[in-house]
Homo-oligomer: A and B are copies of this chain.
Amino acid sequence: MNREYPSAVLERAVGEFSKLPGIGRKTALRLVLHMLSRPEEEVSSFGRVFSTLKQDIHYCKVCHNISDADVCDICANPKRDGSTLCVVENVQDVLAIESTMQYNGLYHVLGGIISPMDGIGPQDLQIASLVERVAEGGIKEVILALSPTMEGDTTNFFISRKLQPLGVKLSVIARGVAVGNNLEYADEVSLGRSIVDRIPFV
């Protein structure tokens, strides 16, 4: 017998965990053995949540963020500014921007960014629905808030070409030196951008 573990059940459980990103086989074994030390109800409840996760989770039909209702809390909130749309890659980015308390408009969650290396093209993202949403009118400004990477820039460029004919104001989040950081520790590219994109001193 050429199995690594003394039991096929253990083997399978470790295999499932180690499929997850950032979890190797040693960590997976540690997690499974931890579970075995927990009460049966706790472990089976863990399993039940994931066995129906994909069926249970819903997306807002307006902004495509994860939501329990057909329309998410942010889209349904009449106090939010419906004329401003912030385009983000995923749920984490919505949470990150919400936690700044600096934004009161709506979102549009793309569900990824254009990445030819990973085989993700514009048709895999919520770009058509973004164009549709802007074309319906009522939106004055679209803020592109994607990561400042090559893929983010490519996606920004693709979206801007689609939205420009619609006459909406397009902006992109500022790139520059991080607040609170010492200048000498800033990377050259960010520092360079912060000089090129300088703004009037209040």
Contacts and interface: CB of A to CB of B under 8 A. Distances in A.
Given A5-B95, A6-B74, A43 B50 contact: yes
A31 interface: yes
Contacts of A58: 7, 9
B47 A53 contact: yes
B21 A34 contact: yes
Main SS of the interface on chain A?
helix
Contacts of A95: 4-5
Contacts of A84: none
Nearest to A4: B95
Contacts of A10: 57, 66, 91
Interface in A19-67: 19-22, 27, 29-36, 40, 42-58, 60, 65-67
A188 interface: no
Query: Contact size class for A?
Result: 35 or more
Contact of A65 (B4, B6, B34): B6
A13 B53 contact: yes
26 contacts: A4-B95, A5-B91, A6-B65, A6-B67, A6-B72, A6-B73, A6-B94, A7-B58, A9-B58, A10-B57, A10-B66, A13-B50, A16-B50, A20-B35, A33-B90, A33-B91, A35-B54, A36-B57, A36-B66, A40-B55, A43-B50, A44-B53, A47-B48, A47-B51, A47-B53, A48-B51
